[in-house]
Structure 1
Amino acid sequence: MANITVYQYRVPDQPGINLRGSQPRYGTRAAIERIGQAPLPDTALELDEGLLDANGFTRHEYLTYRIHIKHSHAYAGWTVPAGTSAGARLPVMGGDYDARLTERMFDPASGAVRCLRVVGANQRAGGDLWVRLDDTAELARFPEVPVDAALVINGRRLSEPGELAAPGLVE
């Protein structure tokens, strides 16, 4: 896919949008102008066009979050989709990780569910763990998490296209 230039912009009802830890908003110049806003100066970024939605904006699931898990065993994730013989549910150990929002097929009967792919969290075999967002109330609205949650978001960045490919990812 081709690279396309996107820009960060302010959302009028969210003045702190560009603060550390706040959700970055990017879009093509045409998309930003279409909603009556202006691209912020010095925020141009070359981005693979596959990371944009049909309206020309990046989507939440194309962000990589830098998270800190305060203590072990606060969350558990699956090594592979549940219902397969190789799948295991393992605790996510405390520490710092990259994480991405995905949709994952855990059971063909119930379809894909939203989850957080915690990169490198499988302490036993290496690899990632997929934490279902519907497993705990504090993660249900991720990336909005309560202040007292066991997970802290320390930053966000746009994901590289190669980072997004994963078995079971619903496109």
Structure 2
Amino acid sequence: MFAIREATDAFAKIDRLPKDRVPTLDKTLRNLTQRTYFPPVERDGRTDHFALETICALRLVHKAAAFGLDRAKLEIAAQFLQQPQTGQGRRVKIPGGWKVLRPIDEAIERAKAGEAFNLVIELRRDGTTRTRMDWAADESMIDAKAKAEAEVILADSGLAQPMDAAFVIPASRLIAELLEELSD
């Protein structure tokens, strides 16, 4: 588990921030964890402690915040990363069944395996956003014929909104750098 101070030190070292900018980074990370979905695992006095997965998600959301994404989009990204996505993601066997991994859990696994992927926040024509990871799909889990049929139905329905813009974060690199820094 990690306190925000430890995350600040790791982020500052990776980003090669001058010492005079570290207090601002610390304040920014504290604000993000207080105003966005980053649940602590435990509290020791006034210090919140976060899981590694939460710190990795914070790294990605912090980059989006530094770029200027508004609070609503940051909240959507934070929740997307830290909550299982119905019908998406890798599944792991647990006693009594299966569990869908949260995107951040799967991202950490894939980063450790050396895969390259991004976190993508898309702006659709109707003004809505969609957050997704652009990693390669596990082909063994996809029924190509069913996927093609579903795409045709969606296109014919008029419900499919084309993407007009996208914000892309190199998630695999950011997570791999952070994992390496926090393991020292």
Instruction: Mark the structure with the bigger radius of gyration.
Output: 2
- TM-score, normalisation: structure 1: 0.31
Q: More strand by proportion, 1 or 2? A: 1
Q: More helix by proportion, 1 or 2? A: 2
